Amino acid sequence: MGVARKTRKFATAHDRRKDEVTKKKEEIEHKKKELAVREVPQMPSSMFFEHNTALVPPYQVLVDTNFLARTVGGKLPLLETAMDCLYASVNICISSCVISEVEKLGSRYRVALMIARDERWTRLTCDHTGTYADDCIVDRIQKHRIYIVATNDRDLKRRIRKVPGVPIMSVAKGKYVIERLPGAPTT
């Protein structure tokens, strides 16, 4: 049997000078973080506490692709059902991104496309590149908080909930339901 060799371990002893230098660097970084100015997004003047005072009848309802599909699937009239839900007059707004998304879905969604192209609705033109409607809707509601967003998309709802003062309308159990609208009846 051979004798096991001991290898010499390097850098096991702490160098006090290195520890002092690293502590000073950490303290400086900590002070910089404390003094850093944090950018808080400016809230619009229409936001009073948690309530959006810009939301007044006639309500502007911004419709998403899957909301149109669920409305057609539930055989619900878009304008009348929205008015029944909100107890007020409603202006339906559809962006060009939503219309292009419905066009891409094909012939199976031709009834939803006919509803989207109806002349009674306000057509919002988009000035951005691409046709992803979720980004378009979120960008639009961050700029102007005058819309009620009509969607059934979970991811889009999650993104909208992060923007204060924007209510969400969705299709559930054969009718429209609204969340986060002050004074709205709970169902």
Question: Which pLDDT score, from 0 to 100, does residue 32 have?
Answer: 77
Residue 12, domain member (yes or no): no
Residue 167, domain member (yes or no): yes
Residue range 171-186: average pLDDT? 81
Strands (E), 9-82: 47-48, 51-52, 59-63
DSSP state of 158: H
Find tokens 């999650």 and name the residue. Answer: 158
Q: Which residues contact 88 (CB under 8 A, 6 or more apart)?
A: 57, 58, 59
Q: How many domains does the chain have?
A: 1
CATH number at 97 reads 3.40.50.1010
Residue 1, domain member (yes or no): no
Residue 43, domain member (yes or no): no
Residue 21, domain member (yes or no): no
Residue 83, domain member (yes or no): yes
Among 28-32, 56-60, 75-79, 106-110, which stretch is predicted with the lowest mean pLDDT? Answer: 28-32
Q: Is the pTM of this model over 0.85?
A: no
Q: Is the pLDDT of residue 38 over 70?
A: no
Question: Which pLDDT score, from 0 to 100, does residue 150 have?
Answer: 97
Residue 23, domain member (yes or no): no
Residue 103, domain member (yes or no): yes
Find tokens 């419905």 and name the residue. Answer: 102
Q: Which domain holds residue 92?
A: 48-179
Residue range 34-63: average pLDDT? 75
Tens of pLDDT, residues 70-120: 999 999 999 999 999 999 999 999 999 999 999 999 999 999 999 999 999
Long-range CB contacts (< 8 A, 24+ apart) of 25-29?
none
